[in-house]
Amino acid sequence: MARQKRPKRVRPGRTRQGAVGRWVRQHPIAVWYVSASAVAAVLYAVAAPLEAVQYGAPVLVALLITAARFGAIVLAVRFPLSAAVLFAAASVVVRWSPAPNGLPWPWTVTTMVGFVALVLIVWARHGWLRGLIVYAVPAVSVSALAAIEFDARSLSGFIVAVSVGAVAAGAAALLRERARLGRALTKEREVSEAEQERRLVSEERQRIARELHDVVAHGLSLIQVQATSARYRLQDVPDDAAAEFDDIAASARTSLAEMRHLLGALRGDEQPAQHAPQPTIEEVGDLVADARRAGADASLTAVNLDGVPTAVSLTSYRIVQEALSNAIRHAPGTRVDIALHHDDGRLLIEVRNSAPAQPAPRASGSGHGLIGMRERAGLLGGTLTAGATDVGGYLIRAELPVESDGTGQSMTEDR
């Protein structure tokens, strides 16, 4: 008893990660707002009591001005220039008086972190021009307070703030470029998937067109030949029956023309679904027998057809079917000789019809038959040639690569 494979278990964590990743990609603005709000809330929770207790700011000023300063981080997601002005103004107001000795001034640690977050958001979201403005406005306005008490403490605070702001700008530029490349790759992948889907659809249409042409065209051709030759093959056919046969032949010709229009659509942009049969090379004899019953003078010679792979077998049947149908349709009344020979790792197919007794009227065709036969042979790495013979007939010759089984058995049939 064969052991059944267990279905692959999907870890809940991976499922959640995939869902979170899709949500992040689908809602980038919301991600920016959530991230900015989280940073602003943490900075406010730390800076408000620090301003009131350590720097001696009035409690109301510490609560309101600090809230405005870090609220500018959230505002920067949508309105970068307004956020820069608000951050700079609030920072100047809360830093107007010098801090006690030993504390950072005018750039406190929370102010530097807020400045970095502000520059990072604007530069990554809105580009380098607005990012440069948002970098310059707070850097100049807050650092100008150092003129009130210029010393090593204020100078070091200015240098650190400007440096970390520049680092934030560089990181934001890289983040923005990475996001741009990610969007470009995603778009390219979508285009590639669409092209792949169109290619697969086109190949399926080609396959359906070949199968439909081979099956339906061959059947309609036989109907046309049987109906046209009925008055000559059968004795004492009444005139009304002969007229009925002529109508059947005319209907078959009309159906063939309509089918060619359908094949043109299949090879274009519109297609219906179709399931084609899968005959084999062993059924070529039945194909020839059907043609003879329809009034065609056809013979078959087949040598060593054992061990022919399925793909080659199907292709061989379709090529013979289409070649025989072409001979019946374009050169009615001629003899058609079909030869199949499997030897030396190849399968040779020849369908030859003799010269017609009199020039047949030119049949309206789109050339799909020869195109389909060449496509079938080419898919297997084979070749197919078609052309007139020296004696006025027509020859279709195909050579398909196949692994020979070396049995050497042969069969010859002439019906």
pLDDT digits (tens, 9 = 90+) for 35-57: 999 999 999 999 999 888 888 88
For residue 274, the model assigns a pLDDT of 44
Q: Please report, rounded to a whole number, the percentage of residues in the chain having pLDDT higher than 70.
A: 80
Domain that holds residue 292: 280-415
The mean of the pLDDT values for the chain is: 80
Q: Residue 164: pLDDT above 80?
A: yes
What is the rounded distance in angstroms from the CA atom of residue 304 to the CA atom of residue 366?
35
Q: For residues 245-273, give the mean pLDDT.
A: 68
Whole-number pLDDT of residue 405:
41
Say if residue 181 is in the same domain as residue 309.
no
Report pTM: 0.46
265: in domain: no
Bridge partners, residue 302, by sequence: 340, 411
pLDDT at residue number 383: 93
CB 342 within 8 A of CB 303: yes
Contact residues for 44 (Cβ-Cβ < 8 A; gap 6+): 66, 67, 70
DSSP 289-320: HHHHHTT-EEEEEEE--TT--HHHHHHHHHHH
Note the pLDDT of residue 1: 41
Domain stops at, among 192, 225, 245: 192
Question: CA-to-CA distance for 168 and 156, rounded, in angstroms?
Answer: 18
Q: Are residues 158 and 299 in the same domain?
A: no
Q: What is the pLDDT of residue 137?
A: 92
Q: Are residues 178 and 316 in the same domain?
A: no
CA distance 414 to 161: 99
pLDDT tens digits, residue range 87-142? 999 988 887 766 677 677 788 889 999 999 999 999 999 988 999 999 999 989 88
Query: pLDDT higher for 158 or 299?
Result: 299
pLDDT tens string 170-217: 998 898 888 888 888 888 888 888 888 777 777 777 777 766 666 676
Domain count, the chain: 2
In a domain, 202, yes or no: no
Structure tokens at 123: 């530069």
* CA 84 to chain centroid: 45
225 part of a folded domain = no
Domain assignment of residue 214, yes or no: no
Residue where one domain finishes, among candidates 132, 161, 192? 192
Distance CA 154, CA 135 (A): 19
pLDDT at 413 over 50: no
Q: Is 257 part of a structural domain of the chain?
A: no
